[in-house]
Amino acid sequence: MAFIELSIDLGSKYITMYQKGIGLVLREPAIAIATQNRNKLEIREAGYRAESIMNGSLGGAKIISPIKEGIVVDEEMAAMLLEHFLKRILPDSFIKPRVRAIVSICSSSSNSDRRAVEKCCLKAGISEVTLVESPLSLLSYTGSIGGLFVDIGGGKTEIAAVTNHGIATGCTVNIAGDAFNNAIIDAFYLQYGIKIGDYTMEKLKKSALSFYLNDEGSYAVSGGSKDGTPRSLFVTAEGMREAVIPLVDDIIEVIMSVLNQTPPELSAEILRKGIFISGGSLHIPGIIDYIEQALELPVTPLEDIENAVAIGGAKFFDNRDLLSDMLGVKLA
């Protein structure tokens, strides 16, 4: 039986799947709502369906986020979540299809982290698993021979100088979209004594946060005050920006550190091409311009900033020799 070949980006915020010969087949939040059935948890809803009801009445159900900052923290639930998503996209047949997957993971994953991902995939029903660091998939996406890649995700930011022979140098920091949200939530609590929920904060960030200095809009939000009573207030784009800028400055500092450690030949290539950047946080207006001005280097967002890792991973199915060179192993 022929294999179904999938490229999977196992992110903290989203799980993305790209099927060879078809294209993007799934991009869903990496969350599940699970209920206890005797001695085990069972998934009731997952992905967007779970997200749509997670702020309502859950009864005895639990919200599960099995991947944190690019690392599997709940192996059993991560396997169940993957299996749940696979059932959505694979053909419904009596004979279970065989799946071969290239799974893009955080470049800072330890050996135990890698084993956890591999075990989750096998438990979910994937027959063959090849783990690839996300920056390698981004290089594959561009078709370049080398460059500096920055991926600002949900739980972490990855920065890596990469060539066709692998990662020359890099760093992963736990500063990304979730940290931006938390910084704004904390700032408003300290300043106004009001606690904004995660769901409200995510909507506010998407609609109101801006790095353009001339954005002076204000937005009404509601939350709980310190004494527990509901309260409303107006927040400004400037206030949110001031809360997030120190975190983005930290990311910029790490980028500069990676640049300083990059081999001279690759540095010359990066100076010529600039920096490639991806990740959902790039939807924040003005953030790319802010990073570019601070680095004094061209910063180019990848064409598909959210799905580039999964798409790039899928390109390895047609170039397994390149993947072998990058991983330093001979693939079957």
Whether 164 maps to a domain, the answer reads yes
Per the listing, tokens 């975190």 go with 247
Q: Are residues 296 and 205 both part of a single domain?
A: no
In a domain, 157, yes or no: yes
Ramachandran angles phi, psi of 234, nearest 5°: -100, 130
Among the candidates 243, 258, 291, a domain finishes at 243
Same domain, yes or no: 170 and 238 = no
Task: Tell whether 190 and 278 lie within a shared domain.
Answer: no
Would residue 259 count as lying in a domain? yes
Residues 57 and 169 in one domain: no
Give the number of domains in the chain.
3
Check whether residue 184 and residue 171 sit in a common domain: no
DSSP class of 282: G
Does 125 lie in the same domain as 11? yes
In a domain, 150, yes or no: yes
* Domain finish residue from 210, 243, 276: 243
If asked whether residues 219 and 191 sit together in one domain, one would say: yes
Nearest residue to 104 (alpha-carbon basis) of 148, 151, 142: 151
* Rounded Cα gap, residues 203 and 199, in angstroms: 6
- 203 assigned to some structural domain: yes
Are residue 227 and residue 290 in the same domain, yes or no?
no
| 52 belongs to a structural domain | yes
Residues 81 and 124 in one domain: yes
Count of other CB atoms within 10 angstroms of residue 120: 26
Phi, psi of 251 (to 5 degrees): -60, -45
Element (H, E) at 273: helix 264-273
In a domain, 25, yes or no: yes
Are residue 76 and residue 198 in the same domain, yes or no? no
Assess whether 257 and 194 both reside in one domain.
no
Q: Which domain holds residue 71?
A: 4-140+309-327
> Of 193, 211, 243, which closes a domain?
243
Q: Find where tokens 């995700």 sit.
A: 153
Query: Tell me, what CATH number does 183's domain have?
Result: 3.90.640.10
In a shared domain, residues 262 and 202? no
Give a yes or no: residue 332 inside a domain.
no
Q: What CATH number is given to the structural domain containing 53?
A: 3.30.420.40
- Show pLDDT as tens, one digit a residue, over the chain (332 residues): 578 999 999 988 899 999 999 999 999 999 999 888 777 888 888 999 888 876 665 667 888 899 988 899 999 999 999 999 999 998 777 777 899 999 999 988 999 999 999 999 999 999 999 999 999 999 999 998 899 999 999 889 999 999 988 999 999 999 999 999 999 989 888 887 888 877 778 778 877 889 998 877 677 777 777 777 777 777 788 888 999 999 999 999 999 999 999 999 899 989 888 999 999 999 999 999 999 999 999 999 999 999 999 999 999 999 888 888 888 766 65
Q: What is the pTM of this model?
A: 0.90
